[in-house]
Structure 1
């Protein structure tokens, strides 16, 4: 089985720090985000690879195991196949609980998601790199191959959603052991929230999903409040007026008072994140004052007059 090199996917070296990995992920996630590349299948696939890579390399334990075994696909000595790779072969004589720890430690958080809203999330046994499909019954169906004993096995994975999907809620489809399962991410879901699909795992075990909310270049979430930025033409900043602001609900209107300056923050009440107790936090808008790159002759004359007036004042 050929695995992706997650370091290459993120464009970092194997000695990169956690901060370097996070920085690389943020840059690539913004570049290939489905919202910015609508209809581009290649960008969607790249976005999925980036998420898979970050899910593994951002977790110290998973990164440690990946550094040891991720490029070869070899099972450590003593785990059934004797280092022969994940081929679903002879697992006779090993400790099933020991394999469970290894299985969840290596693959617990590398699950993919559907890019942009098309297709199913490929868990492939709770998130195998590259979306590989592995028959969990072969791996967990029994000890000794012929005894046929079943193990109730909880499977853990991660499901990545965009900030907008976490805000509004989204319907997702995952693929576990060839079985398509539908689930609902509730509106207002936070990063790190856990979803349980009871009885849907191997042998009737549970599937435990940790929600990972992807960072959005337009909004920052802090508690119940969101922060974004908006461009304000210089004349509007000077004289006051209304501007259009992007919110997670769509477009909103913000009244800019006269004499506003760059970096000033304004608040739109009730336009933030849904609260557990009901209601919503606030949306803070940081003003960026802009000047036209090109001016008409009339505009130039007006700016000259304004300059002279400012000198006289």
Structure 2
């Protein structure tokens, strides 16, 4: 996604302009958790908002990109229609300044050549055009962590495109879906993102001290209620699903999350009502009867 001058990244993160880096990190984590698509299955805006939140953090936490964005916000892109190369190509430094939107460097003092004294010299060949600017490309790598590694933080070794090995320390209380940014390390100066994945074989997802689980139910079980066994980090438990539970409803298992420094999180169970892909004729007849009853009301 390409940042636009019309997007107010500070307002998007709920921060006043020029907030410090710690406030920026806290706001990013809060909004990323709030709009994560896996936690907003019924909200079609969640994925787009989640992308904008990540975009806002990537721009505001990078001094170079933030300066360029603030310049665009203040209308600093130059007069419309102005051609910076109307009189020919400037020096390569000036060329980069125009293409990248940076402040132009001061021109170097160059003495004018004494044409009269060297009239017999052959005309100098025109300077070659500046080399193309390599577009910055962002990369992303999935990094799988255990719940304990996500809770306490761990060292992750990553090999960059040029063969360089870097070690990244993940933060404590990390969650599934978090993205860590290595700024300017890809060819062309792009960023490399580490996409943290913290999930168990049973389908439990870790988010700080919380544990998240999606429980799929058939329509009769969701409508009438049922007792169902769900996994937790400390073994399965029986959960009583209330009657009339729709998709998106969250049920809480208190104290079934992770524990750190005397704090223990909960496990949230999200109800997902599913329709079988194939129905028997008797089942179809029952659904038709339910449809008729709904129309009669």
TM bucket by the smaller chain?
0.3 to 0.5
TM-score, length-scaled by structure 1: 0.38
TM-score, length-scaled by structure 2: 0.40
Bigger Cα Rg: 2
